[in-house]
Amino acid sequence: MAQLEPTALDLPLVAARRGINVGRIRVPGWLALLLRNRKSRTGLLIVAFMVVVALISPLISVAHPNDFNILATRQAPSWHHLFGTTDQGSDVFSQVVVGARRSLALGALAGALATVVAAVLGIAAAYVGGIVDEIVNLLTNVFLTIPAIPLLVVASGYLKTRGMWTMIAVIALVLWAFEARILRAQALTLKNRDFILAAKASGEPTWRVVFGELMPNMISRIAAAFVLVFYIALLVDSGLEFLGLGDQSATSWGVTIYWAQVNSTVLQGEWWPFMFPSLALGLTVLGLVLVLAGIDEVSNPRLRTERTERRSRLAALLGGKAFTR
């Protein structure tokens, strides 16, 4: 479900700045750039927060997420159960916090796999050209045309087991095409630059040119690709779980929402088993989208909203203009 699509334009390359030193900590150049930009800074903080929560979840979850407690079913949020309980009496807070692990891991790994496939296929195809390029292009377009979710729905329907790795593989298989096209387009623009031609002329084998020269110069775009596929995988995976096509016995955000839906809790007015995992999901996706927007702005200075002086900020708010006077 790519509701928030990448920008239609290729990102120009970011010249990696040297790292800076904050006190005694050495911050790498790219991180410094991202932290300086307001959007990506916010996004990174959100994502970092989620990751930390996922990591320390065993410490902060009050009970085991799958604990059943017939006596405490369908309870609204209270001090005892911060996020309330499900219809089976499980603590929603624990489910959300522990579920973060699986959801984030699934999203990240599927995203990573899809990015790797997209990068290798897209960039290699762009560089090598000819029939290889035609084939990869064809493949990419086909995968983009066949609707992803219905395909995943049907494929999951055929799967007997829905373990984590199977889901990662299946999702990555469907999502790689998104970024392959964009990475290929950018690789095409780099292909005829002098440094590539020089490498080629000096006899470097193809694989070395692709992996050693081309890809390192596309790092910012590949990173952006990863962020994008990460959140799409997150959405897709939780979506599938919501449909009952994931691993229903596992703990993750989508599964919690699934059980909430299946047990008609929403229709009965119990919003908490569905609301809190949804918030977690939405917040994480928002964080990733902000990071992506930040990368965009860092690479393309025109996108940055200039910080006007305090006096004129109000004037700008009331009717900012594209042209001065």
Which stretch of DSSP H or E encloses residue 254?
helix 253-262
Distance CA 137, CA 171 (A): 20
Least distance from C-beta 159 to another protein, angstroms?
6
Which is closer to another protein, CB of 213 or CB of 297? 297
Which is closer to another protein, CB of 69 or CB of 300? 300
**Contact present, 65 and 255 (Cβ < 8 Å):** no
Which is closer to another protein, CB of 161 or CB of 202? 161
Which is closer to another protein, CB of 209 or CB of 227? 227
Which is closer to another protein, CB of 25 or CB of 317? 317
Query: First-to-last CA distance in the chain?
Result: 42
Contact residues toward another protein (CB under 8 A) are: 1-5, 7-9, 138, 141-142, 144-151, 153-160, 235-236, 238-239, 242-245, 257, 261, 266-267, 269, 271, 274, 278, 281-283, 285-286, 289, 293, 296, 300, 302-303, 305-306, 308, 313, 316-325
Q: How far is CA 160 from CA 157, 166, 241, in A?
A: 8, 10, 15
Least distance from C-beta 38 to another protein, angstroms?
11
Phi-psi region of 107 (alpha: psi -120 to 50; beta: other; left: phi over 0): alpha
Which is closer to another protein, CB of 26 or CB of 160? 160
Q: How far is CA 324 from CA 27, 316, 319, 321, in A?
A: 38, 11, 11, 7
DSSP assignment of 180-241 equals: HHHHHHHHHHHHTSHHHHHHHHTT--HHHIIIIIIGGGGHHHHHHHHHHHHHHHHHHHHHHH
Q: How many CA atoms lie within 13 A of 52 on its CB side?
A: 6
Least distance from C-beta 300 to another protein, angstroms?
8
Which is closer to another protein, CB of 196 or CB of 299? 299
Helices (H) and strands (E) in the chain, counts: 13, 2
Least distance from C-beta 143 to another protein, angstroms?
9
Least distance from C-beta 161 to another protein, angstroms?
8
Which is closer to another protein, CB of 53 or CB of 144? 144
Q: Quick one: DSSP state of residue 60?
A: H
Least distance from C-beta 99 to another protein, angstroms?
15
- Residues with Cβ < 8 Å from 164, sequence gap 6 or more? 102, 105, 106, 247, 250
**Contact present, 110 and 168 (Cβ < 8 Å):** yes
Least distance from C-beta 305 to another protein, angstroms?
6
Query: Hey, is 16 helix, strand or coil?
Result: coil
Least distance from C-beta 155 to another protein, angstroms?
6
Distance CA 279, CA 29 (A): 32
